Structures are given as C-alpha cells and as structure tokens.
Amino acid sequence: MVLRIAVQSKGRLFEETMELLQEAGIKLNNIKRTLLIPAKDFPVEILFLRDDDIPQAVATGVADVGVVGENEYMEKDEAADIVKRLGFSKCRLSLAIPKDEDYKGIQWFEGKKIATSYPHILNKYMEKQGIKAEIHIITGSVEISPSIGLADAIFDIVSSGGTLVSNRLKEVEVVMQSEALLIATKNLPQEKKDILDELIFRIEAVQSAEGKKYVLLNAPEDKLDEIFDILPGMRSPTVTPLATEGWCSVQSVIEDKRFWEVITRLKASGAEGIIVLPIEKMIL
C-alpha cells in the first residue's frame, strides 16, 4: 500500500514542500522531468501537478493527499479535507487599485471592473459586502491590467507587495490569508490513513524543532530555581547531579529568537560551561 501525494511542480511551494519532505525522511530519486516518483524508504509516491490541479486530483482520488496553497483550495472549492496547516508559503489575497486613486472604502469597487485569477473567492467576498462589480478572469500577469486599461482594479496574491509597487498599485483590502495546506481525499482507506498519520507525525517533529536550540549547562544547586525561571523548557528542564558537590547539569530547549537574552541571564545567574546545539527533530 502506497500513499500518493500531489505536490506543486515548481515555484516556492514546490521548493518548501520538497525541503520539508526531505527533513521528514522522505528520500526521492532525481525528480527532473518525472511526473510520478516513489520514495526510496517510505510508502509514499510524489505526483507533480500544477497547483490549481491539486484540489481536484485529491477530491477525485487521483492523489490521496496533496500539498496546496490555501488560496487554490478555497478557489477550487473541491470536496477534500484539510488535515493539517503547514505554516509555510504564506501570502494573502488582496484587492489593489491604482496608486493615485482616492480610496475611502469598499464602496469604491461598486460598478468597477476587477481583474483576477480567483473569481470564486472574489465573488463570495463581493456578495458578502453587497458590492456589484464586473469580474474579469485572467490567468496570468493580473497586475498589469489597470495600466493597459483592461480593469479598474485587481484581486491577486500579495507576498511582499513589491509587484504592486512596481506596477503603481496599492493594496486596499485584504480578503484572506493563505498558507500551505495538507489536504486529503474523503474516505481514505485505513491502511493509507496509517501512512498519513506517520507522515504527519514526522512533519510535526520537524516543525517542532524549528527556531529552537538545545542548551546544556552547569549550575550551582542554590541557583536552580532562578535558572528554572529562565529555562522553562518543554515541561521542565532536565537536571543531573555532577561529581562536584553542590553542582548540577541542566538541559533544556530555548527559542532561537530569545537566544542571546536567555544566555545573558543564565550567565548572570551563575551558569557555567554553557553548550548550545541545533535541533533537527523534536518529538513532543
């Protein structure tokens, strides 16, 4: 029994998905110019598709699960279940208008022509807002539509906003946030559910370790309470008596973003021999 995973064939989502699978121990042979690739040591195979084809492929059972942007999942509105939010490839879907326009609210879009590759999401949003606008469907280069007179505004993916600026546009309404999703076909057989559960377990182990460091240090016993306040760890730090009377070895996990703050406080509390190690996986 093999679990088939649909993955975007190129772009940022492809790169981040491949990196995550590799960290989760899913090893693949050469992936260039190949549509379907089996993993070498785990019962999965990877099916490479266009991003907008993945929701339908999963919903119809062509693939058992898929990694897809939330924007495409919501746009296609296929009958597939979200089994995990993956937290990467984040972006947003926003309405943008020419930079020099005077924008005072959503009513600006009444009667306007909006270019987009996401008509389903935009239609639902405009209906909810009570706005009647003409939606012009474009499959690529949406951002140039206002400058060539094809539309008054656009509805498109925004990451950094640089593309909008270069096309003299400004973002005025954020309609939805998007990230990578792991979706699955309904009524997945139990054998494939078991493989999926193991895959999710591995993914969570990788993601739990992101942005964290493992710290080992020596500390005087009379300073442990103070050091525990600095190093809360996952539940509590691990403490081991040392051969030197009155001293202990302490082990814990800290967030990378607080690294220097924590190390400075540990030294001030009497900690010595501090060793900091990277964490590849963390099983909670």
Residues 84 and 157 in one domain: no
Q: Total domain count for the chain? A: 3
Residues 261 and 203 in one domain: no
Residues 97 and 34 in one domain: no
Q: Domain range spanning residue 100?
A: 91-178
Secondary element (H or E) of residue 70: helix 70-76
Q: Check if the beta carbon of residue 172 is closer than 8 Å to that of residue 111.
A: no
284 part of a folded domain = no
Cα–Cα distance measured from residue 250 to residue 256, given in angstroms and rounded to the nearest whole number? 18
Residues 186 and 45 in one domain: yes
85 pLDDT band (50/70/90 cuts)?
very high
- Choose the most confident range, by mean pLDDT, from 88-97, 157-166, 272-281: 88-97
Q: What is the pTM of this model?
A: 0.84
Question: Measured in whole angstroms, how far is the alpha carbon of residue 58 from the centre of its chain?
Answer: 19
Q: Is residue 234 predicted with pLDDT exceeding 70?
A: no
Q: Check if the beta carbon of residue 132 is closer than 8 Å to that of residue 148.
A: no
CATH number of residue 112's parent domain: 3.40.190.10
pLDDT, one tens digit per residue, over 19-60 is 999 999 998 876 666 789 999 889 999 999 999 999 999 999
Residues 221 and 103 in one domain: no
